[in-house]
A and B are shown apart, each in its own frame.
Chain A
Amino acid sequence: MKRITLNNAVPEIFASREDLRSEIWHSEVCFERGGRYLIEAESGTGKSSLCSYLYGQRGDYRGSILFDQSDIRNFDTNAWSEIRQTSLSILFQDLRLFGELTALENVEIKNRITHFQSHATIKGWFEELGIADKMDSRIDRMSYGQQQRVALIRALCQPIDFLLLDEPISHLDDRNSDVMRDIILRETERQGAALIATSIGKHMTIDYDKRFRL
């Protein structure tokens, strides 16, 4: 996938609002592979909705969203599974980890269907992010910040054209957020992938190609 295009897209609940000042909604927006995008938002402007639309979780929007030339409304469940295994990855704001599995198992459950990262790479990231000692702990016994890092590792266990990061560092200190940024940049650059991050204030210190106000 080379390009994600939003054509006049807007959440249904905003459709009738006249006072919408947004660089995303009701606009022609294009995300190119290899780019670095930041979407800055205030609460209630539809940030999580945007991620849900782009990731195929929800379809309650007007206008259209295209992956290359294809309208994503036409994708069926299996097409989405294919995209989510080979091209589009996300770090959910609510993480969506499995509480009864360990940190490592949460990563493996993804890597097992993609076979994309080696065990050594995964282990390296755990170390880099300072949670190597928690690899075999149950995820629901870990702090939210630690869980956020595990969720990132899981998100990287697949080929990526576009990486969606929904408030990736909301619970991290500066040091850890820098480590995370380094890993993300390394991995996206290696694959030539784009990153699309959202933020309601705090964001990673990256040289973004483009910033949008939602």
Chain B
Amino acid sequence: MRLIWKLLRKHISIFELGVFFIANLIGIVVILSGVQLYADIKPLLTGEKSLIGNEYMIITKPVQRVGVNSTNFTREEVADIEQQPFTLSMGEFCSSQYEVYGSLMFQGRKLSTMMFFESVPDSFIDVESDEWHFASGQRNIPIIIPRNYLNLYNFGFSQTQDLPQITESLIRGVELTIELSGNFRHETFTGYIVGFSDRLNTILVPESFMLWANERFAPYAEQETSRLIVEVENPSDPAVLAYLEQKGYVAEDKPAESNKALFLLQVCVAIIVGIGVLFSLLSIIIFTLSIYLLLQKNIDKLENLVLIGYTPSQVARPYNMMALVLNLSIFILGVIAVGFVQQTYMGLLSDMVGYELPTSLTATIIAGVILTAIVLLFNIYIIRRKVAQISRKR
């Protein structure tokens, strides 16, 4: 082996193999980064880990025309949803059946408005708060508002009205005067905001308060449900979408959006991988040309080796070893490089979602092994073909 190598390494072009090495390394890193990116981001988009796609869907019936519509769910409909295989748990929105009037003093002005409350079972609420409870007789009402209300105020309303922007912590300190009336009663409570929800787009009070207040201010009103919150494993699940379609329900959440995002991701990754494949193909062409040239330059020696009894595969072995070493180095360097790339974008992603995302290079390693094997086998095939061609008798 040492002797054949001594013979056959002559005419090896460091430059050509260097170009192959670098081009294939770039190609493999680009391809593997694309694959890894896809593997890392896809679960976030399809709701497996919840970045955009929530695991909670809010289902309503569509409003068909102006006026009073029957958008309430019947008991049967609610039971049917609850029975679906994709439903992990389900909660009903309960709305206030009495009049709510809220006001607050703000910079000497009294701001007041008619409003409403809704409640859902506590397990569906995405805000952690010690103050989220209500006991009969309590005069304080904890309230959760959607975070986008605050954004609406800060970035839409306040600037046009010359009002100061407010922070979440500031708003938590604000006391609201809440007046409830119905059933010939009129009572005043103090409301305070304990948190902001990203999931629930309504003004929430604890369910215990809602039941108490409905009983007190509207004992004869029939409780009806027009919105349901459903916990599902994956809101993009085709079965979920098909069910909603068939029943004519509307999901307030955005599985369709996450599907679009997924499609966009697939397009981006396809482009990235395409570029990588192009690089790798070019590098393979360079390698092929280089090997052909190398074998052509060494043709007399190869011929003589075969004539003194070497088999074509024995003659090809040093070149195969060369290809193996090159490709293994490319694989190792490639995986390391993708590791760095992944660290960079996972850092950015973790900042985006607000928690540390787990990182694993499994996808890279699997794809890398497959790619390296393909390139290596092709290299070996080229070497074999050329050596066989030389070995054949004239």
Contacts and interface: CB of A to CB of B under 8 A. Distances in A.
State whether these chains interact. Answer: yes
Interface of A: 55-60, 77-78, 80-81, 84-85, 90, 92, 96, 98, 100-101, 105, 108-110, 112-114, 154, 158
A84 B309 contact: yes
B314 A113 contact: yes
Nearest to A88: B309
25 contacts: A57-B393, A57-B394, A59-B393, A77-B388, A77-B392, A78-B312, A80-B306, A80-B393, A81-B309, A81-B311, A81-B314, A84-B307, A84-B308, A84-B309, A96-B304, A98-B7, A109-B4, A109-B305, A110-B308, A110-B309, A112-B3, A113-B310, A113-B314, A114-B309, A158-B309
Contacts of A92: 307
A81 B392 CA distance: 11
Interface in B33-74: none
Contacts of A90: 307
B185 interface: no
Contacts of B388: 77
Interface residues of B, number: 21
B370 to A, nearest CB: 31
B109 interface: no
Nearest to A158: B309
A84 B315 CA distance: 15
B313 to A, nearest CB: 8
A33 B392 CA distance: 27
Q: Which 6 A-B pairs have the closest CB atoms?
A: A84-B309, A85-B309, A81-B311, A96-B304, A109-B3, A77-B391
Given A57-B394, A59-B393, A100-B10, A81 B306 contact: yes
Contacts of B6: 100-101, 105
A164 to B, nearest CB: 12
A101 B301 CA distance: 11
Contacts of B314: 81, 113
Contacts of A112: 3
A57 B10 CA distance: 25
A100 B7 contact: yes
Contacts of B393: 56-59, 80
A154 B393 CA distance: 22
Contacts of B4: 109
A120 B4 CA distance: 22
B3 A78 contact: no
Contact of B310 (A55, A59, A81, A105): A81
By CB atoms of chain B within 10 A, which of A59, A77, A85, A90 has the most? A77
Given A56-B393, A57-B394, A100-B10, A154 B308 contact: yes
A77 B394 contact: no
Nearest to A110: B308
Contacts of B310: 81, 113
By CB atoms of chain A within 10 A, which of B6, B7, B10, B309 has the most? B309
A154 B7 CA distance: 17
Interface string B208-252: 000000000000000000000000000000000000000000000
Contacts of A56: 393
Given A77-B311, A77-B388, A84-B309, A108 B304 contact: no
Interface string B344-372: 00000000000000000000000000000
By CB atoms of chain A within 10 A, which of B4, B311, B392 has the most? B311
B394 A98 contact: no
A81 B313 CA distance: 11
Given A80-B306, A100-B10, A109-B7, 9 more contacts: A55-B307, A56-B393, A78-B311, A81-B310, A81-B312, A81-B314, A84-B308, A84-B309, A101-B3
Contacts of A59: 393-394
Contacts of A110: 308-309
B394 A58 contact: yes
Contacts of A105: 3, 6
A100 B388 CA distance: 24
B224 to A, nearest CB: 86
Nearest to A92: B307
Contacts of A108: 3
Interface in B304-335: 304-312, 314
A58 B350 CA distance: 69
Nearest to A90: B307
A113 B309 contact: yes
Interface string B1-36: 001101100100000000000000000000000000
A154 to B, nearest CB: 7
Nearest to A76: B392
Contacts of B7: 98, 100-101, 109
A74 B394 CA distance: 14
Contacts of A81: 306, 309-312, 314
Nearest to A108: B3
Nearest to B305: A109
B356 to A, nearest CB: 58
B391 A109 contact: no
By CB atoms of chain B within 10 A, which of A80, A98, A154, A158 has the most? A98
Contacts of B306: 77, 80-81
Contacts of A109: 3-4, 7, 305, 308
Contacts of A57: 307, 393-394
By CB atoms of chain A within 10 A, which of B307, B388, B393 has the most? B393
A81 B311 CA distance: 5
Contacts of B3: 101, 105, 108-109, 112
